[in-house]
Structure 1
Amino acid sequence: MSRRATDGILPYQDITRLIAGGAIRATPAIEDRQIQPASLDLRLGRKAYRLISSFLPELSPISSRLNVLDFYQSDLVMYEMDLTDGAILEKGHVYLVPLLEQLNLSKTLRARANPKSTTGRLDVFTRVVTDLNAGFDEIRAGYRGPLFLEVVPRSFAIKVRTGQSLNQIRFIRGEATVSDRDLQRLHQKTPLLYHNVPAKKILGQREFRADRGLFLRIDLKGEDRTDSRIIGYRAKKNSHVIDLAKVGYYAAADFWEPLHRHRQDSLLLEPEEFYILASKERIRVPAGYAAEMVAYEAACGELRTHYAGFFDPGFGYGTAGEIHGTQVVLEVRPHDVPFLIHDGQTFFKVVYDRMLDVPSQLYGATLGSSYQRQALTLSKHFKT
């Protein structure tokens, strides 16, 4: 992209301008570490509310449901927790956390939120809630007000503190989505998809399938290695608390069961179990674009293929295209019925969006990254 677009995702430098101009504000002030190439990390506030259930604040502001004198008289809140020195969020419980950041968006600017990669890989279900809204994670154009995060740890209890980030937000002006035809042209010019095995082989035009995004497949073979070919992980049912402040600290075997390649290259997913799997392709996101993972077919609602979904400009690409793609790690949870999957079957889709401008900071370059060259990778809290 040689010139600034009129529609697209706001890049790093525009997010810094939004902060300077008061469109995004927070106390304490927003830190540089929060600003990503195409998104902003949002921070947990000082309190968490244990809820009876999830809810949508379509008819009344969220604060009116939380500011009650007697929680026993509330139809929603069970109790309040202080996060300033850390608190444990129990597995399977619903929590609502007011975030430190608030928005004052213009009428031409909307936003979309998503869990961070680390959050998804720990099976922590999160979604942003805003006042007088009938949906999650979508923030309407012109929204002015606070942000709240619904948090539901699914596999592990977690310890969190004020100021930690579980999710992120993108700001969008106009129509940003790249059409299928433009995706095909972009792939010819600067490849978007590579085979994982053999490495560095560009996905051919016959294999490049686009229908409102790029189709990608599941890998149940693993790389050709001399070890036992681990093709995924399944979360153990009974584990200790994971402190999100501790990076590279926990032994994976205490929390995860490795899954080995089956001779039929298939895997039976059990209902309500949580799996970490990987894509058969490696993806790249050029500097002038951002991407997001989505379920490829709404009708296959028995299977959730991911929690986190944002890919920033430079993911799997590098500063000069020197990286030949990065595997996508999937956070998979089937519902209600067992689900049999096979190696190479279509499993999810990636949608590409245009940036308003090339970010001044790229993913995996000056900002660094935990997952730029990942293969089948657990969250950063586990020892490698």
Structure 2
Amino acid sequence: MNRPARLNGILPYQQIKALIEHQAIRSEVPFEDRQIQPASLDLRLGRKAYRLISSFLPELSEITSRLNVLDFYQSDLVMYEMDLTGGAILEKGHVYLVPLLESLKLPKDLRAKANPKSTTGRLDVFTRVVTDLTAGFDEIRPGYHGPLYLEVVPRSFAIKVRTGDSLNQIRFVRGQPAVSDAALRKLHNAEPLLYHNRPAAKPVSSRDLRTDRGLFLRIDLKGADRGDDTIIGYRAKKNSHVIDLSKIGYYAALDFWEPIRRHRQDSLLLEPEEFYILASKERIRVPPGYAAEMMAYEAACGELRTHYAGFFDPGFGYGRGELRGTQVVLEVRPHDVPFLIHDGQTFFKVVYDRMLEFPTQVYGSVLGSSYQRQGLTLSKHFKS
């Protein structure tokens, strides 16, 4: 499956391993095999967390100069320091900054971008990578040399984390890898990128494929068509216990989530600053030569956030060609005013990027991928 490497693209599994071997990606402790994904690297929490007064961007000074103060009472940013080595609870609604175990020494032609992991987003944990002397989050400039920090804000649930836990991931990018709309349509004709969820296994026709610097997808508020009993989403409860991120398949969903059942009008009124888990109308596929990223349909409207986690690895919904797409799970939070949505409404889009070369491992192979065959699925911490 190997193909000649491109000049522009996302670095695959084997090239991420090469970056580690050549010390372009460094760590205070040895890397773990589980960290390296088909088109990304999982980053790990370090030994300390700092409870901050507010979020910030270190455009004018290095981050260490803001953290290394003798008396936190004199700091304009840090309230206190926490030890993560034995586990610590991050309270909801508070801002934390965690130095990560990994650091970078990128070549001048390589940049990076970060995103929360799917599990992180589904727990309504807001994360952003911060680097020294930068005016933005999650975008890491070409040739960056320095440490990485993660801003963490639990929104719905308090969480227990430890040194070594992974809440986010990073992609390495050379040049401009975005696939044009014309190329997307050509690819869809050869290897369907979108399938209807119902009826299953039916590709979206070329004439119904909607593109504008990416593929548009819609929201599903009908579910499995079993009448008013059908669960079409979940809303986070306001008062719940701590979620320990080390406990997989442990928690009862109803202790933390309120099921949302199908409405007769196939619509849903989203309340401001509530957190919802919903699903897409279509199933998507990401062939091995591509990676994808979810984008808000219309960020300018400012009414709602449609997702936290956005990366799709090569092989998502595709495997080695045998799968006919996977539903997209959406992490939705409206802002400011109530927002009414309808079944089949355009809700977000997926942008496809070219890989520099085919990854030697694809999503859903031997990497312990959790969501390859998902429908409407909560995070892996909840019992099935």
TM-score by length of structure 1 reads 0.99
Deviations 1:94-153 (Å, cap 9, x if unpaired)? 000000000000000000000000000000000000000000000000000000000000
Q: 1:28 aligns to what? A: 29
Matches of 1:190 and 1:237 in 2, distance apart? 43
Letter paired with 1:197 = R
Question: For the structure 1 residues 375 and 147, does the alpha-carbon distance in structure 2 shift closer, same or farther, using more than 3 Å as the test?
Answer: same
8 Å CA contact retained: 2:284, 2:328: yes
* Structure 2 residue 345 is matched with structure 1 residue 331: no
Name the SS for the 1:53 alignment partner.
coil
* Structure 2 residue 225 is matched with structure 1 residue 199: no
**How many angstroms does 1:225 deviate by?**
3.9
Matches of 1:229 and 1:161 in 2, distance apart? 37
Q: 1:231 aligns to what? A: 232
Letter paired with 2:209 = F
Instruction: Give me the CA root mean square deviation.
Output: 0.9
* Structure 2 residue 219 is matched with structure 1 residue 218: yes
Deviations 1:257-305 (Å, cap 9, x if unpaired)? 0000000000000000000000000000000000000112122211000
Name the SS for the 1:206 alignment partner.
helix
Q: 1:153 aligns to what? A: 154
8 Å CA contact retained: 2:10, 2:177: yes
Matches of 2:87 and 2:107 in 1, distance apart? 35
Name the SS for the 2:364 alignment partner.
coil
Q: 1:383 aligns to what? A: 383
8 Å CA contact retained: 2:284, 2:327: yes
Matches of 1:358 and 1:60 in 2, distance apart? 39
Structure 1 gap segments, 5+ residues each: none
8 Å CA contact retained: 2:292, 2:353: yes
**How many angstroms does 1:3 deviate by?**
2.0
Fraction of identical pairs, as percent: 81
Q: 2:354 aligns to what? A: 354
Letter paired with 2:368 = G
8 Å CA contact retained: 2:228, 2:262: no
Q: 2:365 aligns to what? A: 365
**How many angstroms does 1:33 deviate by?**
0.8
Matches of 2:285 and 2:131 in 1, distance apart? 32
Q: How does 1:100-249 map to 2 (within 5 A)?
A: 100-225=101-226, 228-249=229-250
Q: 1:254 aligns to what? A: 255
Matches of 2:124 and 2:379 in 1, distance apart? 10
Q: 1:3 aligns to what? A: 4
**How many angstroms does 1:2 deviate by?**
3.3
Q: 1:278 aligns to what? A: 279
8 Å CA contact retained: 2:288, 2:362: yes
**How many angstroms does 1:156 deviate by?**
0.1
Letter paired with 1:278 = A
Matches of 2:303 and 2:125 in 1, distance apart? 19
Deviations 1:38-70 (Å, cap 9, x if unpaired)? 000000000000000000000000000000000
- Which stretch of structure 1 is more off in the superposition, 142-151 or 203-212? 203-212
Matches of 2:108 and 2:29 in 1, distance apart? 26
**How many angstroms does 1:223 deviate by?**
1.5
Matches of 1:229 and 1:41 in 2, distance apart? 35
**How many angstroms does 1:339 deviate by?**
0.2
Name the SS for the 1:257 alignment partner.
strand
Q: 1:341 aligns to what? A: 341
Matches of 1:226 and 1:370 in 2, distance apart? 29
Name the SS for the 1:128 alignment partner.
strand
Matches of 1:50 and 1:367 in 2, distance apart? 33
Matches of 2:208 and 2:64 in 1, distance apart? 50
Q: 2:79 aligns to what? A: 78
Matches of 2:31 and 2:368 in 1, distance apart? 19
Matches of 1:135 and 1:193 in 2, distance apart? 32
Matches of 1:93 and 1:252 in 2, distance apart? 24
Matches of 1:125 and 1:298 in 2, distance apart? 17
Name the SS for the 2:234 alignment partner.
strand
Q: 2:59 aligns to what? A: 58
Deviations 1:132-178 (Å, cap 9, x if unpaired)? 00000000000000000000000000000000000000000011000
**How many angstroms does 1:365 deviate by?**
1.0
**How many angstroms does 1:226 deviate by?**
7.4
Matches of 1:207 and 1:78 in 2, distance apart? 53
Name the SS for the 2:96 alignment partner.
strand
Matches of 1:248 and 1:32 in 2, distance apart? 22
Structure 2 gap segments, 5+ residues each: none
Matches of 1:210 and 1:197 in 2, distance apart? 21
8 Å CA contact retained: 2:227, 2:262: no
Letter paired with 2:220 = D
**How many angstroms does 1:227 deviate by?**
8.4
Name the SS for the 2:206 alignment partner.
coil
Matches of 1:266 and 1:43 in 2, distance apart? 40
8 Å CA contact retained: 2:42, 2:166: yes
Letter paired with 1:267 = L
Name the SS for the 1:33 alignment partner.
helix
Matches of 2:291 and 2:133 in 1, distance apart? 29
Matches of 2:228 and 2:260 in 1, distance apart? 13
**Number of residue pairs matched?**
383
**How many angstroms does 1:359 deviate by?**
0.2
* Structure 2 residue 298 is matched with structure 1 residue 297: yes
Matches of 1:159 and 1:9 in 2, distance apart? 32
Name the SS for the 1:149 alignment partner.
strand
Matches of 2:227 and 2:78 in 1, distance apart? 53
Name the SS for the 1:88 alignment partner.
strand
